[in-house]
Amino acid sequence: MPVTELTTTSAMPRSRVIGAYLEEARSECLRYMRAPSFMLPIMLFPGLFYLFFGVLMARTEGADAGRYLLASYGTFGVMSPGLFGFGVSLALERDGGLLTFKRALPMPPGAYLLGKMLMAMVAAGVVILLLLTMAVTLGHVALSPLQAGALLLTGMLGVLPFCALGMFVGTLIKGQGAPGMLQLVYMPMSIMSGLWFPLPMLPKFLQQIAPVWPSYHLDQLALAAVGMRQGMLLPHVLTLFGFAAGFLLLAARRLRRYG
């Protein structure tokens, strides 16, 4: 039998490849739904911050403050599923040998990562929907359906650079140290990007380095989604794409070398 014919007949049918991707995504969703102690803090923590600061400040500072804080705390909330849902779980699975086991399975190599990314996007969507509900009902923030949809889409796609960053951190450290290390990334990045306080309130040198962080660029897109920013959005999109691609390549390189 010719080599080309042998390759064609032994290759997995496309329907089975698609089924493998879907099944891995479904299993990731089920796994995290069965571990609410891990996912609930990731999704509810930003809502509590927004309730204590965003809703109360919106009532005293006006409608613009409400929309501004919705975008900023939305960005803050979207970072969490990517960093912790991806980084911590990857580090724990490397320690436990699950990642090595999955490599030995007859499944597409990208199904594992795609399943985790889809789960992070779902979690990010839940975070944004929760904040939107609180903003409209408790904060009386006026948003059009188009603005709400744009913020939801921005959050679900904007989680991907933080998935890549979490993945990279997860390849560097052991599972037990992952939560603490990611906190050291999560909180300072949020503050220095102007998510907790507007950038003009921060020291000048922090204002100058804010564009270094991916959270700054996602926040600019979120502000534009709720009508709080005008101007070119493509540079922010390209920067986030570059962050995602760069950290993904670095993480994939480390996984190939060290598992």
Helix residue ranges, H only, the chain: 3-10, 14-33, 36-49, 56-61, 63-96, 98-104, 111-137, 145-158, 160-170, 178-192, 204-209, 214-225, 234-258
Q: Which residues contact 38 (CB under 8 A, 6 or more apart)?
A: 32, 85, 88
Domain that holds residue 157: 12-258
Q: Assess if residue 27 is contained within a domain.
A: yes
Q: What pLDDT sits at residue 211?
A: 92
Q: Assess if residue 157 is contained within a domain.
A: yes
Task: State the average pLDDT over residues 107-125.
Answer: 80
- Average pLDDT over the chain reads 82
Q: Assess if residue 29 is contained within a domain.
A: yes
pLDDT: which is higher, 174 or 60: 174
Q: Assess if residue 3 is contained within a domain.
A: no
Q: Assess if residue 85 is contained within a domain.
A: yes
| pLDDT tens, residue by residue, 155-188 | 999 999 999 999 888 888 877 778 888 888 999 9
Q: 181, 169 in Cβ contact below 8 A?
A: yes
pTM for this predicted structure: 0.85
Confidence bin at 61 (pLDDT 50/70/90):
low
pLDDT: which is higher, 10 or 243: 243
| pLDDT tens, residue by residue, 173-229 | 877 778 888 888 999 999 999 888 888 888 888 889 999 999 999 999 999 999 888
C-alpha count within 13 angstroms, C-beta hemisphere, residue 244: 19
Per residue in 217-244, is it b (16+ CB within 10 Å) or e — as a string? bbbbbbbbbbbbbeeeeeebbebbeebb
Count of domains for the chain: 1
